Amino acid sequence: MACRFSRPLVRSLLLTAATVALTGSSPAKAANAASAAFLPHQALYDLSLMKSRGSAAIDNARGRILYRFSGSACEGYASEFRQVSELNSGEGKVTLSDLRSSSWEDAEGKSYRFTIDTRMNDVETAPVDGFAERTGDHITVKLKKPEAKTFELDGSVVFPTEQIRRIIAAAKQGKSVLELTVYDGSDNGQKVYNTLSVIGQPIPADRSTGAPDPSITSDQMKSMTRWPVTVSYYDRDAKAKDGEQTPAYSMSFELFENGVSRALVLDYNDFVISGALGKFDVKDSKPCSK
């Protein structure tokens, strides 16, 4: 349960498909236009318990997420992610999880490389290492770890950075709902999630916020529009109960038009974690020569 803390962001987190079809643009131009807006940056989120519910009561939770994002529409996008979380369920029962992941995604969503390592109470679980490539109407996934395996996914599946790009494009078009099927290599490298994104009304750059953080005060972010977004993740292979399926987890956040996220809320059904943006640094990027 605790090791699932991170994947929403990168879901890329993040939060993290078919190319966005913008009005008056070809698919290639639409992808490049959306990709150009992504901001290379490093963000540190402080995690704390918002609420606990259900049978698996959590007394306290704390941790941090460190996220680095770099790249361009020419060279593709790389992300590094680390989440260290401590869950206290009372009576001295403490679970410490340390998840690290790194990935690279082609700017047009054609290929995706990923590695994921997880430790629970200093015990390492089987790492995940693989590569996915879009060819024609399908995606071929080749896993090296936890075991060598090759399998295919439907071509409508999206990777994490493309997922964020699609959400931003939908928000700019005034859409309030977006459904995508996402693959990011999490769990054993074979899990696929159906996602439902609900997008709220745009938040103007000049609107005040109750708790300013470095993303709001940064000179490079002051003019950026953002949207409140909630993404729910459903296990594609899980069966619905009484005709209704409960999400495996959901995450809410404010998403800037350049891909930066703030004000995270991670809902894991039994408990809810908040992620406040504590540090934010803009990174240099190489100019795209195309």
Give the pLDDT confidence score for residue 243 in this predicted structure: 63
Give the pLDDT confidence score for residue 55 in this predicted structure: 66
CA distance linking residue 213 with residue 196, whole number of Å: 27
Q: Give helix then strand counts, H and E, for the chain.
A: 4, 16
Give the tens place of pLDDT for each residue, 223-274: 889 999 999 999 888 765 556 788 989 999 999 999 999 999 999 888 899 9
Give the pLDDT confidence score for residue 284 in this predicted structure: 81
Tell me the pTM: 0.82
Give the pLDDT confidence score for residue 21 in this predicted structure: 24
Give the pLDDT confidence score for residue 66 in this predicted structure: 95
> What is the 3-state secondary structure of 46-90?
EEEEEEECCCCCCCEEEEEEEEEEEEECCCEEEEEEEEEEEEECC
Give the pLDDT confidence score for residue 186 in this predicted structure: 85
Give the pLDDT confidence score for residue 56 in this predicted structure: 63
Tell me the CA end-to-end span of the chain in Å, nearest whole number.
44
Residues in the chain with pLDDT values less than 50: 1-36
For residue 262, what are its two tokens? 């703030």
Give the pLDDT confidence score for residue 240 in this predicted structure: 55
